[in-house]
Amino acid sequence: MHTQKNNSYKLILAIAGFVVLLMGITLFFIPPAIFTDPAQGFQVLQSMQLGGGFNNLVSPD
């Protein structure tokens, strides 16, 4: 007597592997990046608190 094994784990692993592969290819063409927007926002806030214009960042040349 042979009982048929449940092979659903193979399908789940194949789908997970495909998703990881797809995300890896996507990250190769569109790499993640960190932009300095929050830091510049705080610099603008400090500039405004010190009497600078609204939403203007004053920096040396």
CB contact set of 4 (below 8 Å; sequence gap of 6+): none
Element of type H or E holding 56: none
How far apart CA 22 and CA 46 sit, in angstroms, is 43
d(CA 56, CA 41): 10
Asked if 40 contacts 57 with a C-beta cutoff of 8 angstroms, the reply is yes
pLDDT in tens, the chain (61 residues): 555 678 889 999 999 999 999 999 999 898 887 776 777 888 888 888 988 888 887 777 6
Contact 55, 44 (CB under 8 A): yes
